[in-house]
Amino acid sequence: MSDADRIRSDAARFDDLQAETRVHRRNHRCDAYTFEDGAGLLALVRREGAARILELGTAIGYTAAVLASATPTTRVDTIERDPDHVALARANMVDAGVADRVTVHAGDFATVLPQLDGPFDLVFFDGLGPTRTMIDRLRELLAPGGLLVCGNLSLAAGDERRHLEDAFADRDLWQAAGSIENGATRAFRKIGTTQGQTTMEDMMTDDEQQIRALKDEWRAAVQSGDLDRTMATYFPGSEYLGFDVMPPFIFEGWDAFRDNWEKFFAMFDENPRFEFHDVRVHQAGDVAFSTGLTRFSGKVAGKDVDLWTRETLGYRKQDGRWLIIHDHVSVPIDLETGQGVRDYKP
């Protein structure tokens, strides 16, 4: 049996409890929306080797049981405010044979969290709509290098969502560490900055650090409106290929792209600003790519521009130096109108 099959079969032991949660929610008309990707969660916990786990949002115990099943000694603290859920979850932990390792805390997250002592190796947030204040507190409870698995980010509305994305984009606080549940639940690794703790740099390879530094250099060059400095971040010659958000469809070669940058700088009344969000870097040998969301803003012909784009960059290492050899910048298309979707706000 492959590792993936084993994980799927281990998680499937709790399928009945997951089904029971769905029935419970319909009858109880409550918020016990069960987590959809138990196998993904179990794989994450096993990969981390997490011994001590905190969960927010027990419902009737499905994911608490999954988490506790990661190893025979994994301990879980889980928090739930609905008294009916607490009673059912405690009974379900007995049925699942994990009651000695799972503590169901009754009460609101805000009242229970201050009573808990860290550090936890992994925190799973499955409440309704995380907040920045909550995530900051969870970070305190995590061990350096520990993993926050955050569900229901889409339920955080407006400014709260922006504050959260700002926190997760802060490279002194978190490093993006993938996602489960088809991308609906995202994982972030805690970066420690004080002495003796794991730092972002400790956790990155030299190549990843150089690629992120190249992106920072690109931003500094563009924001200062320096065409030559900007072009020095691109792979010289004919191999460069650009799929920019602006026409034409394709830019072939460094020279063609330089012309584009010249026009781009000329359009702006003042130098544009760029923010990078959720940047992930993948590298093997002398080739790498990064993904992320980029917000760019500024003033064009007296009008404010504020646009979020999706960005995939390709990199090649030449003579020991990483350079951008491809970019693909896009916004989604509304198929009914044929127009680009330009009002995305995470």
Ligand X SMILES: C[S@@+](CC[C@H](N)C(=O)[O-])C[C@H]1O[C@@H](n2cnc3c(N)ncnc32)[C@H](O)[C@@H]1O
For residues 35 and 19, what is the distance between their CA atoms, to the nearest angstrom?
11
Angle, CA 178 vertex, CA 177 and CA 179 arms, to 5°: 135
Residue matched to tokens 């706000």: 345
334 contacts ligand X (rule: CB under 6 A): no
Candidates 59-67, 172-180, 221-229, 257-265; binding stretch for ligand X (CB under 6 A): 59-67
> Looking at the chain, which runs of residues are DSSP E strands?
52-56, 75-80, 102-106, 120-125, 142-150, 174-180, 185-190, 241-243, 251-252, 273-284, 287-300, 303-318, 321-330
Minimum CB–partner distance for residue 79 and ligand X (Å): 5
Q: How far is the CB of 212 from ligand X (least distance, A)?
A: 34
Q: Is 32 in the site for ligand X (CB under 6 A)?
A: yes
The yes or no reply on residue 79 touching ligand X (CB under 6 A) is yes
Cα distance from N-terminal residue to C-terminal residue, the chain: 40
Query: Any residues with CB less than 8 A from the CB of 300 and at least 6 apart, and which?
Result: 267, 268, 269
Q: Is 59 in the site for ligand X (CB under 6 A)?
A: yes
Interaction between residue 62 and ligand X (CB under 6 A): yes
* Interface with ligand X, residue 81, by CB under 6 A: yes
Shortest Å, Cβ 115 to ligand X:
13
Would you state the torsion angle of the CA atoms of residues 249, 253, 259, 264, taken in this order, to the nearest 10 degrees?
A: 50
Give the nearer residue to ligand X in terms of CB position, either 13 or 229. Answer: 13
Q: Is 180 in the site for ligand X (CB under 6 A)?
A: no
The answer to the question of residue 40 lying near ligand X (CB under 6 A) is no
Site residue total, ligand X (CB under 6 A)? 20
Q: Determine the interface stretch with ligand X among 29-37, 174-182, 220-228, 246-254 (rule: CB under 6 A).
A: 29-37
Angle at 82 between CA 97 and CA 88, to 5 degrees: 25
Burial of residue 140, with CB atoms counted within 10 A of its CB: 0-12 exposed, 13-18 middle, 19 or more buried:
exposed
**CA separation (Å) from 318 to 208, 243, 322?**
15, 22, 6
CA angle 258, 261, 264 (to 5 degrees): 155
Instruction: Give the interface segment with ligand X, choosing from 77-85, 182-190, 228-236, 306-314 (CB under 6 A).
Output: 77-85
Q: Which of the stretches 56-64, 188-196, 284-292, 332-340 binds ligand X when contact is defined by CB under 6 A? A: 56-64
Give least dist CB 324 to ligand X, A.
41
The gap from C-alpha 270 to its chain's centroid, in whole angstroms, comes to 32
Say whether residue 127 binds ligand X (CB under 6 A).
Answer: yes
215 lines the binding site for ligand X (CB under 6 A)? no
Which one of 43, 86, 104, 109 is in contact with ligand X (CB under 6 A)?
A: 109
Is 267 one of the binding residues for ligand X (CB under 6 A)?
Answer: no
Which spans of this chain sit near ligand X (rule: CB under 6 A)? Answer: 21, 31-35, 57, 59, 62-63, 79-82, 85, 108-109, 126-128
